[in-house]
Structure 1
Amino acid sequence: MNLALWIAAGLLAAVALTGGITKAFVPKEKLAAITGGGWTDAASVGFVKTLGVLELLASAGLILPAVLDIAPVLVPVTAICWVLLMVGAMITHLRHDEAKFIGVNLVYLAVAAFVAWGRLGPESFLG
């Protein structure tokens, strides 16, 4: 179980890192062209950059606290925050008629919920 949780957290961190780098450092116009417009057209540059920074922080929060053994409780907290972020992403995609992305967001949500459940329950870092 511990190995599965590490793999899930690692995959989620990789997704968050990729999305964070893209949103934080790629110009909004280029990002809109890559993703086909949609929600990025309606969002401000600051909002897109903020999401990118949050995703970069999530990528660190899913791995580093446990690896460094500094406040490892932040791993499930970060996973819970990722669940909330995915709920927001699904709502946003629904509002912009981008239902094709909801399935992907749902998978990320499920993986994050698994990490949160596992790290708060059976394979807790707390004791």
Structure 2
Amino acid sequence: MFGEMKTFFDTYAEHRRNHRPSSYYSYLEKTSNFHGYDDLRWLQQGADTREKKEVLYGYLEKHELNDPQYKRFYSMYEELGEDLGYIKKEEYVSIPKSLILDYMKEMVEDDDSDWYRANFYKHSLNGKEGTSR
């Protein structure tokens, strides 16, 4: 019996730590006060519904914090926008330098252009200076 009660209260305490009351988000909608990053981040971490995320997203827009010059706020704005489907995340593919250099070398060899030879071969190619054809 005691173990079950402890589990119940532990679960309830964890829920209270991870989920924020809706009243906090209602306040954000109504206030013109500016709140710091840490407060907003705490609310973002507990935003377990779409409505709560939309309130935070709207708050950042209302206070014009959706500008890259405000790095941390902008990062939060992008995260919320991606979660809500308003912002599409761009995916990047990492390409090793060696593949890029090999591709450029093939371009030079295929093109037979003096410009490529003059500009490409004056830089180090796989550690060899001034390689020529």
Q: TM-score, normalised by structure 1?
A: 0.29
More helix by share: 1
